[in-house]
Chain A
C-alpha cells in the first residue's frame, strides 16, 4: 500500500479506514453492470433539425463517446455495447438478424472503441456510417432479439442490465402492425429477463409521440408515475448527456439500515453516495518481458523460524510511554463497536444551527426502502415534508457497519425539484452531513486586524458583481484525472501526443482583467498605501509576464495545412497548433475539442479550394 500511496501525495493525511470502506461496490459480490446502446440508423437520424446544431445521429454518437470515456474513468468493469438498427448492412454474431448492425458487442470499453465512435461523429462520421452500414428497413423486434442474445452470450454475472434506444422516429415500422407486435413481444421478453429499457427520444419535426408505439416497449418508471414518458424529447446534446448519465449508472446503496425514531419505530432507509472523490486508479504491476499483469502475494513470515504466519499467529500492539500494549485482532475490531448498524434519531434542530464549517467528508444521501419495511416511504415523506417546511434538520447517530464507531449526521431535507423538461434536478431525500466531534475542531489563534470601510467594501462589491457567474457543480473537470487518461489514451492508441486538455480550474486571467478594467487599480488605491507591495517577499510566485512565457508559437503555413486537409492527416497536429491555425485564418469553431477544430478547419479549406 505504501507504494501506491506515493502517487497520491496530497497535503491531506493518509486516509485509510473508513474513507476506503465507503468507496463503493465490490464487483465480485454484485456482478457487472451492462449497458446496450441501440441506435436508430435510419435516414431521419442523419437529417439536421432546423433549430439543432447537430444531427440526431451525431448527437447520439457524442453521447455514446462520453459514456465510453466516463466508464473508462469511473467504472471500467462495466460492459457496454453499441448496436444499430434500421441499417442496410447486417452484422451480428450469427448473422441471423437482418438490418441489425452490432458495432461493438458487450465488453468493457477501451481506447479502440472510443476511437471507433469518434469515427462516426460529424459529417465524416455520417459518411462512414452510410458506407459501412447504410440505412435500410427497420425491424426493432429483430434488433431487440439480437440484443437479448448479446446478454445471454455473456459468461460473466451481470447485475444490472440496461438498454437505451436512441431514435427520432416515433413510429419505426410505419404502421406495420406485425412488426410492431413482434417488437413489443421481444421487448417484453427482454424486460422479463431483467433488462431495463429506456427511450432516449430525440427531436422529430411535428413532435415525438411516445404513445403511438414506444410506451409499450420501454420499462415503466421506478415509481409507476408517468414521469418517464412525459419527458420532452431532447433537443440539446447537454440535455441528452444529462439524461443518459442519470440512467447509465445503477444506484447502489452502501448500506440499508433502520432509521430508528424511537422504541419499535424503524423506518428502512438506504444510504447512497452521490459524490465521491474520483481518484487515479491504482497502477498495476506488469512483467516487463511480456507486459502481462503480475499478481502480488503478501505473506507474513516469522523472522526467526521462517515459517508462514497465519492470521491467528499474530496479535496487534501499540507502544505508549515505552510500554507495549497487546490486543487480539478481534479485540481491536470490537472496541470500535458501540451499537448495531443503524441511524438513531436524537432530535431536531433549527437549520441555522447547522454551520458551514460542519464538514468532515462529502455527505451521504438517505432515501426510504419501502421493500424492506412497508410504510417507510410514507413516514419518510411526512418527515421530509415537515422538516423542510419547518426549516429544521434531524440529528442522528449513524453506525454504518457492525464495528464502525458512531458518527453524528445532520439530516438536511431536500425536496424534489424538476426542470422544464420534467427531468429531476434535485432528488427527494435527506442529505446526511457528517458533524465534527470536539477532537475534529482545531483551536486557532485569530489575528486581530482592522476591518474595511464601507467605501472599500462597496468597491469590492463592484468587483464581485463584475466577475459573477452561474456555478454548476458539474462544470469543472478534474484536470489531473483528465490528463492522466488522455496520456493513457495516447499510449494505448499510439498517438503522437496526448490530446490537450482544457484546464477549467485555471482562472481566465485575460477575461477577468478585461471585465475588471480599472476596478482592480481603484480598489488597490483604496486599501493599499503607495509603498505597499501586496505580493511581498513571501509571494515567490513566478508571474507570467504578459504571456511572454507561453510556449513558442508554432506557425504553420497555409500550404502545409492544405496538405494535411487533403491527406486527411490534420489529427497529427496538436491542439494548440490547430487552435492557432483557426485563429490565423479566422475560422470559427464551436468547441475546443480536437475533432471540432479539425472539422472546422477541414470545412474552411474545402470551401476555399
Chain B
C-alpha cells in the first residue's frame, strides 16, 4: 500500500476458537499459522520503532474480558492488550501466553469490540490510519442482523479492515480444494456451511467499505507469512530540496530534488557495554594526547593545535584560520555549466546517491520549462553538466543531469561526476591484442552457449519479458539477518545465534532454473578452458611471509604433576630460526591434569599492529576459570621508542589478581645496560614465586649456546626458585651452586 508517514492504530483480532485447532494430517493448524502471522507482524513493528499503536483482541477464548460484555452478550471475547506501542513483552506474551481456546466466538461481535476499543482509546488523539485485522477461519456461527450498522460505523470512524483466512477467497463450495497453497481446511472436505456464510459476509463487508479494491485486503495466512518475513525498512519521508536550475544569468527554472537511490544504513549502531553488567554507562572512552618524547608526556587537549601535512611539511593551521581561508560557497546551486554527450559521461559515476529533480508540485510553468529541457536532452542524447551545491558552504560537486522520461512522470536524474583528483588512470596490459590470451572460435562459442543458458531475462509466449533475478526487489540481506539475530537474542538471551533463514539464502542464489540450464555448457567450458591454480613457490624472504605460513612456534613445556618440569626453547637466534622457517612459540602447561596452551600464530607483528587492533591473547583454563592475558598497542618498535612500555598479563585465579609487568626501554638498550628483568609473578595460595632472568642481549646469549630460562614450580608447598643467567657454563654452575646453598640454608632455617 501507499506509504503513509503518520502514526496509525491497529487492532489484531485473532480467532482462538476450537475450530482453529483443527487441521488435516500433515497440515499446520490455522491457529498456529495465525500466531505466526501476528508474531511476524509484531516483530516488524517492534524493530521499526515507529509510534504505531497496537491492540490485541482474542475471540473464541474461554475467558471473557471486554467493555461491552454484559447480560450474556459479547461472550468469549478477550481484550488481551489495549492500544500500546508494541514491545518485546507483547512478543513474549504471544509466544508463551496465547493458547487455543475451547469456545466459539462470533467474529462480528469481536469486530464490534475492536471498534469500540479503537474508538475509546484514540479519543482526542490524531492518527493517520485506524485499522482492524481479523484472523479467523470463519468457522463459527454469526448473527449478521447488525451488519449494516457495523459497516456504517466503520465507514464513519474511518476504520479500515483486513481479513486473514486459512484459505483463499475463491475456494469453491463443493470442496474441489486444489486452490492456492494453503489447501482447504479440515482435510480437504471443503468449506463448512458457517465458513461459506462467513465468506459471503466478509465479501459483503469489504465491498461496502471499498467497492474497487476492498477484496484485495482479504489474504491467506501463508501469503501474509511470506510477506512479513521481510523486515521492512522504515520508509523515510523524502526530504525535498528546493532550488533553481540556472542556465547562464537569465534563464532559471524552479526545481525540487529528492534522493531517489541511496545506500540505506541501519538507524542504530552498536554501543559498547561492559561485559558483566551490560551497562553502557560503565564504559568510558578516554582520549589522551601525548608528546613524542621519551616520557610520553601527556598534554591537555587545550595545549594542542590543529595542523595538516603538506607532503613532508607539517603546517599548523588553526580551525579559525582554516574556516576563514577555506573555499566558500554562497548557497545552494544547480547551475548548468554546459551540455555534453551522454556517452562521454557514463561509467565514472561518483558519490553515493541519485537525485531526482522535478518542478515544484504546484508550479506548472516550471513544469513546462523543465519538461522542455528534459525532452530536448532526451532527443539529443545529451546531459546537462551542472555545478551542484547542497547548501551554503557545502562542498560543490560537478555532476550530470540525465533526462528521464517515464509513463507517469518526467524528471532529471542527477549523479555526481569525478573530479580530476578522484581518478586513478591505470593502464592495464592488453588482453585481446595479446596472442597468449586470444580465445579460439570454439572457446568463444561455448561462452556463447553459457551466456544463452544463463540469461536471466526471458520472454514468454506473449512476448512479455520476465526478469528472474531483480536485485532491486531483494531486501538488503545484511539487515534481514541483523533483525533476525536481534529478535532471536532478545527472546533467547543465552542461546547461540540462529542460522540464516532459508528463504534469504535462496533469494541470493542463482535461480534454480538457470542453474539447471547452465550445467551442460559449464561442463563444456571446463573442457575447453583449462584453469590451473598456481601453487606459490616458497620464497622465504621476509619474516612477514614466514609468519603468514603460520608454523612458527616456541615451545616451553612444564609438567607439574609428575614433578618433572622442563622449559625448552629450541633454536638459534630468532633470525636464524626464521630463516629456517620453523619457529615455535608454544607454551604448554599441564597443571593438575589440565592441559593449557597458549599459542600465538599469525602474521608478522608489523602486520598485526598495522591492523591497529591487535591482541595477543592467551587463554588459560584452570579449574573452569578463564583468564586472559592481553597486549594491545602499537608496534613494539614504537612502544620501545616511547620509553614506556608495558606488557601486562593479568591472571585471575580464585579471585586473586596478579600482574606481571615489564617496563623498560628498547631491549637493546636494556641489554646494553646489563639489567634486564622479565619477571612473572604468580600468587598462588598466598605463596610468592619469582622467576628472574638477567643477561646480555639475546643474541649474545644465544651466542653462548647455553641459554636457560627459568621456570618456577611449586612442589608440596615449598618455595623453590631457579635462576639462570646467560653467562658461561662455568659461571652458571657457580651460581647454581650458590643459589642452591642459599635455598638449603633457607630450608634449614625454617
Interchain CB contact under 8 A, B471 and A435? yes
Asked if A496 lies at the interface with its beta carbon under 8 angstroms from chain B, I say: no
Given A276-B424, A363-B347, A381-B439, does the pair A262, B246 have CB atoms closer than 8 Å?
no
Interchain CB contact under 8 A, B86 and A373? no
Asked if B613 lies at the interface with its beta carbon under 8 angstroms from chain A, I say: yes
Q: How far is the CB of A527 from chain B (nearest CB, A)?
A: 4
Q: How far is the CB of A291 from chain B (nearest CB, A)?
A: 5
A297 to B269, CA, bound (A): 23
Given A406-B508, A469-B340, does the pair A457, B376 have CB atoms closer than 8 Å?
yes
Q: Write the B491-508 contact mask toward A (1 if CB under 8 angstroms, else 0).
A: 001000100100000001
Pick the contact of B347 from A264, A293, A331, A414 — CB < 8 Å?
A414
Interchain CB contact under 8 A, A539 and B252? yes
Q: Write the B434-475 contact mask toward A (1 if CB under 8 angstroms, else 0).
A: 101111000110011011001111000000000111011111
Which 4 A-B residue pairings sit nearest by Cβ, starting from the closest? A449-B367, A223-B429, A471-B340, A382-B439
Pick the contact of A326 from B306, B493, B617 — CB < 8 Å?
B493
Given A276-B424, A452-B369, does the pair A11, B394 have CB atoms closer than 8 Å?
yes
Q: How many residues of B contact A (CB 8 A)?
A: 213
Asked if A609 lies at the interface with its beta carbon under 8 angstroms from chain B, I say: no
Q: How far is the CB of B143 from chain A (nearest CB, A)?
A: 39
- Chain B 529-587 interface residues, beta-carbon cutoff 8 Å to A: 529-534
Given A300-B272, A435-B471, does the pair A532, B382 have CB atoms closer than 8 Å?
no
In the complex, which residue of chain B has the Cβ closest to the Cβ of A463?
A: B247
Interchain CB contact under 8 A, B310 and A489? yes
Interchain CB contact under 8 A, A449 and B371? yes
Query: Which residues from chain A contact B274 at a C-beta distance below 8 Å?
Result: 302, 309, 313-315
- Chain B 378-436 interface residues, beta-carbon cutoff 8 Å to A: 379-380, 382, 385, 387, 390-391, 393-398, 402, 404, 408-411, 413, 415, 417-434, 436
Interchain CB contact under 8 A, A387 and B522? no
Asked if B142 lies at the interface with its beta carbon under 8 angstroms from chain A, I say: no
Asked if B273 lies at the interface with its beta carbon under 8 angstroms from chain A, I say: yes
New contact pairs (17) apart from A317-B278, A405-B477, A507-B248, CB-CB < 8 Å: A225-B430, A275-B422, A275-B423, A287-B303, A309-B283, A315-B272, A316-B272, A321-B86, A338-B508, A349-B456, A359-B354, A378-B438, A384-B431, A395-B469, A416-B428, A473-B418, A492-B315
Query: Which residues from chain B contact A376 at a C-beta distance below 8 Å?
Result: 531
Pick the contact of A492 from B304, B313, B372, B456 — CB < 8 Å?
B313
Q: Write the B273-305 contact mask toward A (1 if CB under 8 angstroms, else 0).
A: 111101011111111111110001001000111
Given A262-B518, A447-B367, does the pair A480, B395 have CB atoms closer than 8 Å?
yes
Query: Which residues from chain A contact B437 at a C-beta distance below 8 Å?
Result: 370, 377-378, 380-381
Query: Which residues from chain A contact B344 at a C-beta distance below 8 Å?
Result: 470-472
Asked if B615 lies at the interface with its beta carbon under 8 angstroms from chain A, I say: yes
Query: Which residues from chain A contact B730 at a C-beta distance below 8 Å?
Result: none
Given A359-B354, A374-B532, A516-B251, does the pair A11, B390 have CB atoms closer than 8 Å?
yes
Q: How far is the CB of A516 from chain B (nearest CB, A)?
A: 5
Which of A284, A292, A383: most chain B CB closer than 10 A?
Answer: A284
- Chain A 155-214 interface residues, beta-carbon cutoff 8 Å to B: none
Interchain CB contact under 8 A, A28 and B606? yes
Asked if A548 lies at the interface with its beta carbon under 8 angstroms from chain B, I say: no
Given A277-B350, A380-B431, A381-B437, does the pair A314, B273 have CB atoms closer than 8 Å?
yes
Interchain CB contact under 8 A, B380 and A110? no
Pick the contact of B474 from A316, A360, A438, A467 — CB < 8 Å?
A438
Chain A at the B interface: SS class? mixed
Query: Which residues from chain B contact A246 at a C-beta distance below 8 Å?
Result: 425-427
Interchain CB contact under 8 A, B311 and A451? no
Chain B at the A interface: SS class? mixed
Q: How far is the CB of B234 from chain A (nearest CB, A)?
A: 10
Q: How far is the CB of A475 from chain B (nearest CB, A)?
A: 7
A507 to B388, CA, bound (A): 11
Interchain CB contact under 8 A, A300 and B285? yes
Pick the contact of A311 from B273, B339, B615 — CB < 8 Å?
B615
Query: Which residues from chain A contact B292 at a C-beta distance below 8 Å?
Result: 292-295
6 A-B residue pairs with CB within 8 Å:
A272-B426, A288-B303, A303-B284, A313-B275, A449-B363, A451-B371
A460 to B370, CA, bound (A): 10
Q: Report, as a range, how many residues of chain A touch the other chain.
A: 35 or more
Pick the contact of A444 from B260, B387, B395 — CB < 8 Å?
B260
A89 to B353, CA, bound (A): 57
Given A385-B444, A463-B251, A534-B244, does the pair A437, B325 have CB atoms closer than 8 Å?
no
A504 to B396, CA, bound (A): 11
Interchain CB contact under 8 A, A274 and B283? no
Query: Which residues from chain B contact A344 at a C-beta distance below 8 Å?
Result: 510
- Chain A 470-518 interface residues, beta-carbon cutoff 8 Å to B: 470-485, 487-489, 491-492, 498, 501, 503-509, 512-513, 516
Q: How far is the CB of A116 from chain B (nearest CB, A)?
A: 12
Which of B250, B288, B359, B431: most chain A CB closer than 10 A?
Answer: B431
A301 to B274, CA, bound (A): 10
A441 to B263, CA, bound (A): 8
Query: Which residues from chain A contact B479 at a C-beta distance below 8 Å?
Result: 439
Asked if A26 lies at the interface with its beta carbon under 8 angstroms from chain B, I say: yes
Question: Which stretch (A38-46, A68-76, A561-569) binds chain B?
Answer: A68-76
Query: Which residues from chain B contact A470 at a C-beta distance below 8 Å?
Result: 340-341, 344
Interchain CB contact under 8 A, B409 and A275? no
Interchain CB contact under 8 A, A406 and B420? no
Question: Which stretch (A422-430, A552-560, A590-598) binds chain B?
Answer: A422-430
Query: Which residues from chain B contact A317 at a C-beta distance below 8 Å?
Result: 270-273, 278, 280
Interchain CB contact under 8 A, A225 and B420? no
Query: Which residues from chain B contact A111 at a C-beta distance below 8 Å?
Result: 310-311, 313
Query: Which residues from chain A contact B246 at a C-beta distance below 8 Å?
Result: 507
Asked if B181 lies at the interface with its beta carbon under 8 angstroms from chain A, I say: no
Given A310-B630, A345-B510, does the pair A284, B477 have CB atoms closer than 8 Å?
no
Asked if A421 lies at the interface with its beta carbon under 8 angstroms from chain B, I say: no
Asked if B485 lies at the interface with its beta carbon under 8 angstroms from chain A, I say: yes
- Chain A 247-279 interface residues, beta-carbon cutoff 8 Å to B: 247, 249, 251, 261-268, 272-278
Given A265-B525, A395-B469, does the pair A507, B244 have CB atoms closer than 8 Å?
no
Interchain CB contact under 8 A, A492 and B287? no
Question: Which stretch (A91-99, A121-129, A350-358) binds chain B?
Answer: A350-358
A540 to B325, CA, bound (A): 25
Asked if A242 lies at the interface with its beta carbon under 8 angstroms from chain B, I say: yes
Asked if B116 lies at the interface with its beta carbon under 8 angstroms from chain A, I say: no
Pick the contact of A480 from B296, B326, B456, B526 — CB < 8 Å?
B326
A458 to B372, CA, bound (A): 8
In the complex, which residue of chain B has the Cβ closest to the Cβ of A378?
A: B437
Asked if A361 lies at the interface with its beta carbon under 8 angstroms from chain B, I say: yes
Interchain CB contact under 8 A, B425 and A245? yes
Interchain CB contact under 8 A, A382 and B308? no
In the complex, which residue of chain A has the Cβ closest to the Cβ of B328?
A: A483
Interchain CB contact under 8 A, A520 and B428? no
Interchain CB contact under 8 A, A320 and B472? no
Question: Which stretch (B15-23, B99-107, B329-337, B714-722) binds chain A?
Answer: B329-337
Query: Which residues from chain B contact A524 at a C-beta distance below 8 Å?
Result: 250-251
Q: How far is the CB of B408 from chain A (nearest CB, A)?
A: 6
Asked if A51 lies at the interface with its beta carbon under 8 angstroms from chain B, I say: no
In the complex, which residue of chain A has the Cβ closest to the Cβ of B340?
A: A471
Q: How far is the CB of B642 from chain A (nearest CB, A)?
A: 8
Asked if B125 lies at the interface with its beta carbon under 8 angstroms from chain A, I say: no
Query: Which residues from chain A contact B309 at a C-beta distance below 8 Å?
Result: 76, 281, 284
Interchain CB contact under 8 A, A73 and B421? yes
Asked if A608 lies at the interface with its beta carbon under 8 angstroms from chain B, I say: no
Interchain CB contact under 8 A, B282 and A416? no
Given A316-B272, A386-B447, A473-B418, does the pair A448, B409 have CB atoms closer than 8 Å?
yes
Query: Which residues from chain A contact B290 at a C-beta distance below 8 Å?
Result: 294-295, 297
In the complex, which residue of chain B has the Cβ closest to the Cβ of A454?
A: B375
Asked if A289 lies at the interface with its beta carbon under 8 angstroms from chain B, I say: yes
Asked if A48 lies at the interface with its beta carbon under 8 angstroms from chain B, I say: no
A531 to B469, CA, bound (A): 52
Interchain CB contact under 8 A, A527 and B472? no
